[in-house]
Every structure is written in structure tokens, then in C-alpha cells.
Amino acid sequence: MSEPSIEQFGGVLAAPPRRPWRLMIAAAVAAVVLIAAGVVIVTAKPALPRARSPIATIKDPPGGKGASAGAFSPDGTTLAINDNNGRTYLWDLAARRWTGKLPPGPCQGGAVQVLFSPAGKTLAVIGGQRSDGSASGISCLWNLASGREIATFTIPLGPIVHNGVSASGGAAGAAFSPDGRMLAIADSNGDTYLWDVATGRKAAVLTDPHVTDPDSTTFVDSVAFSPDGATLAVGDDRQTNLWDLATHRVAAILTDPSGGSEQDGSGTANALSFSPGGATLAVGDGNGNVYLWDVASRRVTATLAQPVEPLKCNGAYNQQGEDSYGLVVPGGGPLGASVAFSPDGRFLATEVDCGRGVYLWDAARPRRPATLIGPGFDAFATPVVFSPDGATVANFDGVTRVWRAG
């Protein structure tokens, strides 16, 4: 049997029409700025503005089944988009056409993340599911020049237990180191694996400090390398741990400021993004809020509150308000949040789980965000990503939408 390789598309698919840029119509805003001990906390609750129209809407290719994750190539020419069938498709942004696809191989089902290496030579497809919906624990690395799968990274699947109900765990998030030599993959069961990209071998395992706590339901949700590659931020269900990669020890702990509970998921650090200079770390929590931390002082400098009132999360929770682990949560359950700084650090894109919306914030003055998608769509928070030049931002919630930033 031959190795899987990139399959080419022969024809140009119908491209979505270019739409005129619409100015956001601002509505009344109630903003409260609290100054306490030198820390500025900004809480924004605007009335709903009109959502911006995307400049491109990329629909499924033939045989595709809903976008679940994606990434811009470092040169800005290509979008890699993974769908819920486990295939990753390549979209040429200039030609507005599909140019190829990667067969799923062992990486079945919708990926948790899709990541280009910093040099753009390899593509990592993180996680995925088996046909029965359980996590596979397998991530795949592709050489884009040869179109060949060059490595698979497997994490052990142990049960996550919430209120006596177990789930299989699996990959929860990943990040390449800035030099591209290391791939960090977070395991829902409390470990973060560091893989050597060149050899495909496991270099180290960072075990969450809470994993030995018998009263904890510890799981790791997100990872992010600092721009200098010296620190790995790892978000768990209580806090964000800053690991010193020289010593493989936790150098600092950032505790969720909301006082959120591990038991209801509201204290979870489920999305992380360093600013380009590394001075600020954005942390999205289970309340749908995003906190901007000053990394040096370990203090919160701003809070970006979800801009709309909570809505019931119908997609992720059943009619009893139980999540997939059987945990009953009032009002439909905790929120996830995806966060990403623009390459120049001017903007922060956030997506709030279960239909709360996709927003674009001015990082220097996070008073009122621009609305890219308004509330009401029913989807989990999928990664929001900026193009390398920071001019556009994309999200993947069944279809891929691209907006102008700024």
C-alpha cells in the first residue's frame, strides 16, 4: 500500500462573491472602568452592533463535511482547512480555489487544530475522532513539499472523570515552538507532550501540578509558546501554568480572576495567546471572558467581558443542561473562548462558545469590540486565526469565513 499523499483538485470551484466593506453601526455602550491597586479592568456590554460582512466565505469542497479548524500558511498564500470527515483541504487565497487535500490516514474525524510550522514546510493535524465519536489520541505531521505524512504522534487515552462519568480524553490543543523544532500537544488527561519534530520522538512530558489531586478533575485545554521559546503556557481547569522549558518546572501560576469553579468548568483556561513581544498573555476562561495578563508582573491589566448576555448552549449540552461528561451546569454550561493576537499586536480576535459571537478588539483600548459574527449561531468555539500580515482574520464553524481586520 502506498503512503498517503496530497491529492490535487483539477477544477476551480465557484468562489464566493466579493462583498463591499460595511461599516459597523455602533449602538449604545455601557462601559465600566474599575481602577483597583493600579489594575485597570475593562468590562464592555454594548448593545448589539451590525455584524461585518466577510470578504470571503469558503464553502465545503466536493465531499467535504463542515470546517472544524484551519490555519494560514506563514507566507499568506494558503488556508489549510480541516473538516469533520478528517480530511484537510488546501485553499489558494489568491486564485480562490481548492488546490489539494490530505487523506486522513490515522487522523480521523474533525481535528482540534491545524498548524503550519513557522517555516511553512510542514502541517500538523492535531487530534481527531474515531467513527464512534471517541478521541483517537493521534496527531499527524505532513511534509507539504512531498505531500507525504512524515510522523504520527500518539498520546495515551485515559479516562477523564466528572461526577463519576468518564470520557476518553485526547488531544486538546497544540503549538509549534517559534523555531519549529518542537511541537507541544496538550492531553485532556493532564499531560503536555513535547515532541521533537525532526525525529518524531517524544522529548518530554509536562505533568499538570493538579493531576495527583484526588479531588481534581484536572484536564489541560490549551498551550502557547512565548515568542522567545523559553516559556510554555499551559491552561488547565483551574489556572494557567507557565513552564520554564529549560528546567521543565512551573515558574509561575496565573489563577483565573473570576473565582470560577473547576467543577462547573468556569475557571478553565481554555484558550491562550501571547502578544508578539511576549509581554502580554491573553487567557480565555470558561465564563467566556478573556483576561490580559502582564507576564512580568503576573497581574491582570484588562478583562474583555463577553459582549452579550449569556445564551443557552444548545449544541454542547442536553436538555438537562448536562455537558458531555454528565456534569449539570445551570443555564446550559460553561463557555469556551478562542483568542488570537494579530501579528503586530494591535488586535485581539475572540470567539465565544455556543453562538455568542466572534469579535475583534483593539488591544490597546479594549472598550468595545467590532462584531464579526453576532450571537445566535450554535457552534463550539473553533480557533480564530490571523493572516501573517494581520490584514485578515478567519474562523471555522462549519463554513470558513474571512474578514478584514481593523
C-alpha cell at 307: 459582549
Domain boundaries, the chain: 7-404
C-alpha cell at 15: 468562489
Helix (H) or strand (E) holding 290: strand 290-294
C-alpha cell at 132: 464512534
Residue of 67, 142, 169 lying closest to 110 (CA atoms): 67
pLDDT of residue 243: 97
Question: Which residue in the block uniquely carries the three cell numbers 487544530?
Answer: 113
pLDDT of residue 78: 96
pLDDT of residue 38: 37
Cβ atoms 302, 295 nearer than 8 A: no
The pairing of strands 357-362 and 337-341 is unpaired
Please report, to the nearest 10 degrees, the dihedral formed by the alpha carbons of residues 358, 48, 294, 126 taken in order. -10
First to last CA, the chain: 49
pLDDT of residue 34: 30
Condensed to tens digits (0 to 9), the pLDDT of residues 255-281 reads 888 765 555 455 678 889 999 999 999
Return d(Cα 358, Cα 394) in angstroms, integer.
10
pLDDT of residue 115: 95
pLDDT of residue 251: 96
> What number of other Cβ atoms are within 10 A of residue 343's Cβ?
15
Condensed to tens digits (0 to 9), the pLDDT of residues 199-208 reads 999 999 999 8
Please report, to the nearest 10 degrees, the dihedral formed by the alpha carbons of residues 320, 323, 329, 335 taken in order. -130
- Backbone φ and ψ for 251, nearest 5 degrees, come out as -90, -25
Return d(Cα 79, Cα 66) in angstroms, integer.
15
Residue ranges of the chain whose pLDDT lies below 70: 1-50, 104-105, 108-110, 128-136, 157-169, 211-218, 259-267, 307-337, 352-357, 374-382
Residue of 191, 187, 248, 217 lying closest to 323 (CA atoms): 217
Superfamily in which the 7-404 domain is placed by CATH: YVTN repeat-like/Quinoprotein amine dehydrogenase (2.130.10.10)
3-class secondary structure, 261: coil
